[in-house]
């Protein structure tokens, strides 16, 4: 099979991955460049983003890094101006932050932070790329969560934000269908990213292994997902092979939603 007929070939597709410097975003950036995409990593952490860029470039991928706070409309517009050419084929809205707590444990400042990054960040980036996609179509993929569709204890603000990501996905898919723009989202359960390790070291010092095991066992499969597994699903949904799929949410959750009752 020649290179041009590879399954999920992304050759020539300019792709934006927000929060692409680590975790799921980094796994997506690596996989997409390996299949020919030209990836722009947008990340607020300059050190992390540049390290990711060098790692991917050293493996032969076509990648650039732009420091960007997705919660800032000005930052996002500046990032758009820094991108070569008018066409963007794929946007992956991956950047986000977590919050743990009930409504009583959530401050107004907490809620504002979650809103600005998890909701407004998706709004800013999506609004900025749609004009570039309207002529030739494109694919937008949002990172939602199982918390978008089921109740999870102590996740009030986070669930609020990811529920909004889900419904924004539906709205964009509906409004831009005639322009050939597809919009879908992925709803992961617990994925083993640096966030998990940082959370455990901060909140459970000297108990990291024990707590990691407990968190893993909350998934019916008995383990957390891997960023690379999420990246494979993202690849399919952003590729031309998924051209019949839009306005859909895809759990990748080890059975959490349907088997955890």
Residues that are catalytic: 158
Cα–Cα distance for residue pair 195/72, rounded to 1 Å: 23
**Residue (of 140, 99, 139) closest to 118 by Cα position:** 99
- What DSSP string runs through 104-129? TT--HHHHHHHIIIIIHHHHHHHHHH
Would strands 38-43 and 14-18 be described as parallel, antiparallel, or unpaired? Answer: parallel
Cα–Cα distance for residue pair 125/183, rounded to 1 Å: 13
Token pair 């108990």: residue: 207
Give, in degrees to the nearest 5, the angle at Cα 142 between 111 and 68.
70
């Amino acid at each position: 099979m020649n290179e041009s007929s590879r399954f999920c070939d992304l050759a020539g597709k300019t792709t934006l991955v927000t929060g692409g410097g680590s975790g799921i975003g980094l796994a997506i950036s690596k996989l997409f460049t390996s299949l020919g995409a030209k990836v722009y990593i947008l990340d607020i952490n300059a050190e992390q983003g540049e390290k990711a860029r060098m790692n991917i470039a050293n493996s032969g991928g076509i990648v650039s890094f732009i420091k960007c706070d997705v919660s800032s409309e000005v930052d996002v517009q500046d990032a758009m101006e820094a991108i070569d050419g008018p066409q963007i084929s794929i946007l992956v809205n991956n950047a986000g932050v977590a919050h743990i707590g009930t409504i009583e444990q959530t401050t107004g400042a907490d809620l504002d932070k979650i809103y600005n990054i998890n909701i407004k960040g998706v709004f800013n980036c999506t609004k900025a790329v749609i004009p570039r996609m309207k002529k030739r179509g494109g694919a937008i993929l949002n990172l939602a969560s199982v918390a978008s569709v089921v109740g999870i204890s102590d996740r009030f603000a986070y669930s609020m934000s990811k529920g909004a990501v889900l419904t924004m996905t539906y709205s964009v898919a509906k409004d831009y269908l005639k322009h050939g723009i597809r919009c879908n989202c992925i709803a992961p359960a617990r994925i083993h990213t640096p966030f998990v390790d940082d959370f455990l070291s901060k909140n459970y010092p000297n108990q990291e292994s024990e707590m990691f095991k407990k968190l893993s066992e909350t998934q019916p499969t008995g383990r957390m997902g891997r960023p690379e597994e999420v990246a494979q699903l993202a690849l399919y949904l952003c590729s031309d092979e998924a051209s019949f799929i839009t306005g859909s949410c895809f759990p990748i959750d080890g059975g959490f939603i349907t088997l955890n009752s």
